[in-house]
Structure 1
Amino acid sequence: MFIFETPVWIYLCLVIFPNLPNGSDVNTLEVQFTVFRAPNNKLQFQQTSLFNGHVIFTCNSQTLADQPRQDWVTHTFTQEELQERHKECEGRRDEHFALFEMMKTITVSVEVLQRRRGCIISSSGVFAFDEWAVNGEDFLTFGHQTREWTPLSVLATPVAVEWNKQDIRNHVFWNYLHQVCPNAHDTLKLKRATWINESAQTGNF
């Protein structure tokens, strides 16, 4: 069953896939998305960003503000950077609402849509992932090398067939995994290291 338990997910990846980066230098960046219908029948959106298994930002469709959840994040992101994240959250909401409705036209049983994507990085390489679940069950996975969708259930097959025709969108998803995610990881790693160093010097760490 597809559940958002990042430390378990990372551990399973490292055990099951022998080509994943491993060692003490492993860092992970993961973003989790959830779309569901509220009792009033309106779509709701939640986004959670995690760095090394720790929640660093959260956003939802009520606020559309990507809120920092760690001290080092609060102190190292500028107001301009936070405003940009707020805009990105709104864009992700619109994107996932559209994908939810698109998927529902193909698979009418969709009630809850979950997605997690990100990258696991170390000196030995990068492993990227983009996995989807419907109603709590594994549904689709995007091949970060093949740029193709693989169905994980019978209901997902028509969705995979349709989405594999979307070359431009699939390239955007691939680019996130191979460019955007590693670059964001490097930025976060540098910001955290800078904050730790400055805090140690001032005795506030």
Structure 2
Amino acid sequence: MKWIQLLIPCLLMSTITCGFHSLKFLSTGWAKPGDRPLVEQLTVFDGVPISYCDTVTKREQLKPTLESQKLPENCDEASLNIIDSLNDISRFMNSTVYVVQRRRGCILSANGMMFALEAWAVDGMDFITFDPESQRWTSQSPSAIPVEQRWNKNTLMNYAYRHFIRVECPQMIQKIQLRPIQQETELRVFAKPIVDTDQALLRCHVTSTDKSVSSVHLIGNGASRASWIIVTGPMPAEDGSVILRLTAEISLSREDDTYGCTVQTGSHNITVFWDGTTLDGRTLLYHSRVPWKMLTVIFGVICIVFIITIISCATICLLKCVKKKSSPPSRVDPQLLEQFTWIMESNASPDLHNVIYSFTRGTEPNRELQNRWGMSVVLRDQSYYDPDYFAHQIDGAHP
């Protein structure tokens, strides 16, 4: 297994740089209760998918990236191997197996050295591996021990597996040719807002046919303040390109912060800065550091205070209008009104006059009217008690 561990980093990089060609057959079989098992197989050459086959069509569907046609026309043998293994493994594990994965193939170096690979996984966990030199199986899980013992006794199957990965696979490698691919690298930078926060997820998506592309970096004066950064890839795509992705959590509270990404290729670097938009072109606005929930609470309190103020002002105005409005005059009997008028004319008391007037008019005592009646009484009294007045009256009466 050591040689596999040494080759994995090399295969993630350019196969040309490492001097290797690899051909791998990735098979997956799954069984649902009550349904027949299904199988799919993807053939990959130097990290580029070149063919696909399943149990429905049972014919290899060659990819446009493949120049030559030196591949098997169908995947019948691989499908039978997977289906038999599903039944075999389920029986010896005394449990239901839903998914079986198989990875087999070969790696051929420039100096002619060849390495073979045959490994199985069950329900996503390493299960058992095959050594083509000794034609022996080695369990990778305690549950695989019964299967290891049974498969080691099947010498005919083991010989066929060894012949395929040691003889047929290297022969296919020498006949496979890929179409020339123009080396292009595309870098897109966009963001996705995080709901109810002033944060966003910045994403730098790299698609490249240049196998020398291996890293992408976050740049800009706000890069050091990013909460976290995750880089995934390079991962192979179906069209022969590789994909890298950088994701970072950034803040939208500082308008002077800039963010971008740089991709390193074999010949030059590509740099793109974020223009403040999302994947669909919408613009993300910068926000203050006050959380949206707090702003909502503040706005609600302001609205409540405003409404209470309006209601209070309206109530005060209404009360003032009610006070200013005169009470309707009382209805007084006409005969009583005539008697009150005679009393007012014959009585000299201003207070009594004011009371009678208030009663007949339905108002508070009128101070102005009271003063007028007081003056009239004073003038009349002066007339009654003026000696000259009485002398004049006497002289007039007795000439």
TM-score, length-normalised on structure 1?
Answer: 0.75
8 Å CA contact 1:121, 1:182 repeated in 2: yes
Higher helix share: 1
Q: Distance in 2 between matches of 1:15 and 1:62?
A: 33
CA contact (8 A) 2:52 2:60 kept: yes
Residue identity in the other structure for 1:45: V
What is the deviation of 1:63? 1.6
| Residue 144 of structure 1: how far off its partner (Å) | 2.0
In the alignment, what sits opposite 1:95?
81
Q: Report the Cα offset of residue 109 of structure 1.
A: 3.5
- Specify the structure having the higher radius of gyration (Cα): 2
Cα offsets for 1:72-108 (capped at 9, x unmatched): 34xx32xxx67x512xx12321232122112211112
What CA distance in whole angstroms lies between the structure 1 residues aligned with 2:128 and 2:91? 16
- Structure 2 residue 17 is the aligned partner of structure 1 residue 14: no
The Cα shift of 1:182 comes to: 0.5
Aligned to 2:21: 27
- Compare relative contact order (CA 8 Å, sep 6+) and give the higher one, 1 or 2: 1
Gaps of 5+ in 2: 181-399
Answer yes or no: is 1:59 the counterpart of 2:32: no
Residue 147 and residue 12 in structure 1: after superposition, are their counterparts in 2 closer, same or farther (change >3 A)?
same
Instruction: Identify the residue that residue 130 of structure 2 maps to in structure 1.
Output: 142
Is the 1:143–1:149 Cα contact (8 Å) retained in structure 2?
A: yes
For residues 40 and 181 of structure 1, the distance between their equivalents in structure 2, rounded to whole angstroms, comes to: 36
Conservation of the 8 A alpha-carbon contact between 1:14 and 1:22? no
CA distance in 2, matches of 1:11, 1:95: 23
Matching of residue 110 in structure 1 with residue 97 in structure 2: yes
CA RMSD of aligned residues (A): 2.6
- Please tell me whether the aligned partners of residues 23 and 122 of structure 1 are also in contact (alpha carbons under 8 angstroms): no
Equivalent residue in structure 1 for 2:165, among 177, 182, 190? 177
Structure 2 residue matching 1:178: 3-state secondary structure = helix
Hey, what's the Cα distance between the residues in 2 that align with 1:94 and 1:14?
Answer: 30
Matched residue, 2:108: 121
Aligned residue identity for 2:79 = R
Equivalent of residue 39 in structure 2, options 39, 42, 45 = 45
1:106 alignment partner AA: F
Amino acid at match of 2:169: C
Give the Cα separation in 1 of the matches to 2:86 and 2:8: 32
User: Please, which moves more after superposition, 114-123 or 148-157?
Assistant: 114-123
Q: Matched residues in 2 for 1:153 and 1:121: separation?
A: 29
Q: What is the CA distance between 1:22 and its match in structure 2?
A: 9.7
Q: Quote how far apart the aligned CAs of 1:162 are.
A: 0.5
Aligned positions, number = 172
Mapped to 1, the partners of 2:8 and 2:56 lie a distance apart of 38
Q: CA deviation at 1:40?
A: 5.5
Could you tell me which residue of structure 2 aligns to residue 159 of structure 1?
A: 147
Letter in 2 for 1:181: C
Q: Residues 141 and 154 from structure 1, CA distance in 2 versus in 1: closer, same or farther, beyond 3 angstroms?
A: same
Structure 1: tracts of 5 or more residues without a match:
1-9, 197-205
Shift of 1:158: 0.5
